[in-house]
Amino acid sequence: MVKLLYFARLREDLGTGAEEIALPQDVTTVAALRTHLQSRGGAWASALAQGKAVRVAVNQTMVQNTSSIGPDDEIAFFPPVTGG
């Protein structure tokens, strides 16, 4: 099971901050996971749409869309950061 986390505007739009899912076998990259989540439709399709600025961290390190993911990873989706 992968642990999925959502923060800030994304957490509000999706109506959840965390969930655990089993990764489908063909979902091996960040980009594929994003597409997989979009396929849920509704808020998932709009909040994670390709044009939207979404940042991703795998195991608490910021990564690119092409990064690979594994079955026990913690994967977080969030908007561009605005601290400081």
Partner 1 sequence: MTVIRIQTEDFDAGAEIARLRAGNPKIGAVASFVGVCRDVNDGESVATMTLEHYPGMTEKALAGIVEEARGRWRIDDVTVIHRVGEMKPTDQIVLVVVASGHRGDAFAACEFIMDYLKTRAPFWKKEATPSGAHWVDARETDDDAAARWGAGERNVA
- Binders of partner 1 in range 41-60 (CB under 8 A): 52-53, 55, 57, 60
- Residues touching partner 1: how many (CB under 8 A)? 20
Give 41 or 80: the residue with its C-beta nearer to partner 1: 80
The single-letter DSSP state of residue 68 is B
Length reported for the chain: 84
The Cα-based distances of 72 to 1, 22, 78, 84 in angstroms read 6, 9, 20, 32
Q: With contact defined as beta carbons under 8 Å apart, do 2 and 23 qualify?
A: yes
Q: Which of 5, 21, 32, 43 is in the footprint of partner 1 by CB under 8 A?
A: 5
- Separation of alpha carbons 63 and 78, rounded Å: 12
From the list 1-9, 26-34, 39-47, 65-73, the region that binds partner 1 by CB under 8 A is 1-9
For partner 1, the binding residues (CB under 8 A) are: 5, 7-9, 52-53, 55, 57, 60-62, 64, 76, 78-84
